[in-house]
C-alpha cells in the first residue's frame, strides 16, 4: 500500500545553494522548483497511474526539459549534472515517486541524447521533455545485473540476405527484468548482444517502441516501495536497422556513459530523502512531550540529531562535488560519482533508520512519512550499481592512481 505523500513539516533549507558548486542559474532553478513541488498533491496508491500523473505534471511544469538538450526542447544546451542533482534532491524530499518519474525520463532517454541519430533524437526527445512519451532503460537481466557481460538477450540479423525486404533489421530474443517504467513506457532503450561471444564488447543498443510485436511488458514486479517495474520478454521481436542506437557493438560503453551521468543524481535522490527524514525527526522531537519535557530536550536525542545532520552534509558535499566535476569538464569522474552514490545511499539509510527510531511506535505506522521513506531508500543502495560495486569501482581507481 502506498499512501499519498503528506505535506512536509517545513520547506527544505536552500542554504546549500550558497556553496561554490552552484551558479545563479542553479539557484534560480531550485528556488522555482521548491514551491512547485510543495504544492503538488498526487494520489500514489496506484504506482503506475501515479507515475504517469507525475510525468505529465513534470512535463507541464517544464522540469523534464532538464532531461534533454536545448536542441530538442531542453532547458540547457547539454545535460547538466548539477541541475539534475538539484531537481532530484528536491523532488525526493517531497515524493520519492516524483523523483523516480523524473529520473527515469532522463535515464531512459539518456542514451538517445548521447548517441542517437538526428532522426532518433528528433522523434523521441521532444516527447520526453514535454511528458508526452515515457522512457525506460532496459539493461538488467535475471542473470546479468552487475555482471553486464553475462547478458543473454540476443539481437541477431533478422534477414541477412534481404529476401524478405528486411535487410539490416534485427530480431531480439531474451528477457530483461527489474526495468523501471516497465509496462508504462512508450519506448525502451534496450541492450542486447549482437556478438554473443564478444562479452561486453559484443553489446549493442536499440530503441524498441512498446507496441513492437514480440515484446511483452505485462509482467509487473511488486516491490517493497511500489514503483512501476516489470520483466520484459522479447520473442523474435523485429526492429529495423534504424533502431540501432550508436555503433553496433558499442552498447556497453554507451550504457556506462549514460550511468555515469545519472549516478551522482541517484546520490541526490538519497540526499533528498535523508533531508526529509531529518526534518521529520526534528519536527517530531520538538513536538513530542515525555517526562515533563520534549523529546528534543534529551541529550541522547540531540546526539542523534547531530549525527544525522553530519551524515546528510557529508553526503551532500560528495554529491555536489561529483556533479560539479562532470559539468566543469574534468577527467572522467566515475570514481567520484561512485563515492557519492555509495556514501549518500548508505548515509540516507542510517539517517532514515534513526528518524524512524526517534518516532517510536508512530514510525512504523503505514502512512507515516518515515515509514514510507524506510521502504523507499532501500532500493537506492542496489540499483544503478549496488554499494559493493561502487566499492570495487573506487578501490580500482585508487589502486590505479
For the chain, the domains span: 17-133, 136-249, 253-400
CATH class of 253-400: mainly alpha
* pLDDT bracket for residue 164 (50, 70, 90): very low
How many separate helices (H) and strands (E) can be counted in the chain? 10, 10
Domain 136-249 CATH assignment equals 2.120.10.30? no
Over pLDDT 70: what percentage of the chain?
A: 95
CA nearest to 89, candidates 353, 334, 319: 319
Element (H or E) spanning 230, and its range?
strand 229-239
Cell numbers representing residue 67 in the block = 532531461
384 is catalytic: yes
What pLDDT, on the 0 to 100 scale, is given for residue 225? 86
pTM of the model: 0.92
pLDDT of 2 strictly over 60: no
Radius of gyration of the chain (CA): 22
Average pLDDT taken over every residue of the chain:
92
The active-site residue out of 307, 371, 384, 388 is: 384
Evaluate if residue 35 carries a pLDDT over 50: yes
* Residue 160 confidence (pLDDT) above 60: no
Residue range 368-395: average pLDDT?
A: 94
pLDDT tens for 297-332 read: 999 999 999 999 999 999 999 999 999 999 998 767
Distance CA 189, CA 134 (A): 11
Three-state secondary-structure class, residue 10: coil
Distance between first and last Cα of the chain: 48
- How many angstroms separate the CA atoms of 351 and 340, rounded? 16
Assign domain 17-133 to its CATH superfamily: Acyl-CoA dehydrogenase/oxidase, N-terminal domain (1.10.540.10)
Of 209 and 16, the one with more pLDDT: 209
What is the mean pLDDT of the segment spanning 149-162? 80
Say whether pLDDT at 1 is over 50. no
Amino acid at each position: 500500500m502506498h499512501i499519498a505523500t503528506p505535506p512536509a513539516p517545513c520547506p527544505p533549507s536552500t542554504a546549500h545553494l550558497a556553496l561554490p558548486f552552484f551558479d545563479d542559474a542553479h539557484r534560480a532553478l531550485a528556488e522555482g522548483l521548491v514551491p512547485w513541488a510543495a504544492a503538488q498533491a498526487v494520489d500514489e496508491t496506484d504506482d503506475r497511474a501515479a507515475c504517469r500523473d507525475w510525468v505529465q505534471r513534470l512535463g507541464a511544469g517544464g522540469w523534464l526539459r532538464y532531461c534533454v538538450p536545448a536542441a530538442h526542447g531542453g532547458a540547457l544546451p547539454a545535460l547538466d549534472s548539477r541541475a539534475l542533482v538539484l531537481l532530484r534532491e528536491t523532488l525526493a524530499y517531497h515524493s520519492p515517486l516524483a523523483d523516480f518519474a523524473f529520473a527515469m525520463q532522463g535515464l531512459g532517454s539518456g542514451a538517445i541524447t548521447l548517441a542517437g541519430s538526428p532522426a532518433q533524437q528528433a522523434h523521441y526527445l521532444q516527447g520526453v521533455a514535454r511528458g508526452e512519451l515515457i522512457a525506460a532503460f532496459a539493461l538488467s537481466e535475471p542473470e546479468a545485473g552487475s555482471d553486464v557481460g553475462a547478458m543473454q538477450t540476443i539481437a541477431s540479423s533478422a534477414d541477412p540476405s534481404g529476401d524478405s525486404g528486411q535487410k539490416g533489421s534485427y530480431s531480439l530474443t531474451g528477457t530483461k527484468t527489474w526495468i523501471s517504467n516497465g509496462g508504462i513506457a512508450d519506448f525502451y532503450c534496450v541492450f542486447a548482444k549482437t556478438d554473443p561471444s564478444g562479452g561486453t564488447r559484443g553489446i549493442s543498443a536499440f530503441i524498441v517502441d512498446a507496441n513492437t510485436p514480440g515484446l511483452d511488458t505485462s509482467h509487473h514486479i511488486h516491490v517493497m516501495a511500489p514503483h512501476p517495474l516489470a520483466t520484459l520478454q522479447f520473442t523474435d521481436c523485429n526492429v529495423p536497422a534504424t533502431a540501432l542506437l550508436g555503433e553496433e557493438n558499442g552498447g556497453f560503453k554507451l550504457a556506462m556513459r549514460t550511468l555515469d551521468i545519472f549516478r551522482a543524481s541517484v546520490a541526490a535522490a538519497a540526499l533528498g530523502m535523508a533531508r526529509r527524514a531529518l526534518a521529520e525527526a526534528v519536527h517530531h522531537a520538538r513536538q513530542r512531550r515525555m517526562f515533563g519535557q520534549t523529546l528534543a530536550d534529551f541529550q541522547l536525542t540531540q546526539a542523534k540529531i547531530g549525527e544525522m545532520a553530519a551524515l546528510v552534509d557529508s553526503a551532500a558535499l560528495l554529491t555536489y562535488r561529483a556533479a560539479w566535476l562532470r559539468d566543469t569538464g574534468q577527467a572522467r569522474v566515475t570514481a567520484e560519482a561512485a563515492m557519492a552514490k555509495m556514501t549518500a545511499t548508505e548515509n540516507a539509510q542510517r539517517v532514515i533508520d534513526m528518524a524512524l527510531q526517534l518516532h517510536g511506535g508512530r514510525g512504523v505506522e503505514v502512512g507515516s512519512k518515515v515509514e514510507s521513506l524506510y521502504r523507499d531508500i532501500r532500493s537506492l543502495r542496489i540499483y544503478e550499481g549496488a554499494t559493493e560495486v561502487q566499492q570495487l569501482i573506487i578501490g580500482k581507481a585508487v589502486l590505479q592512481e
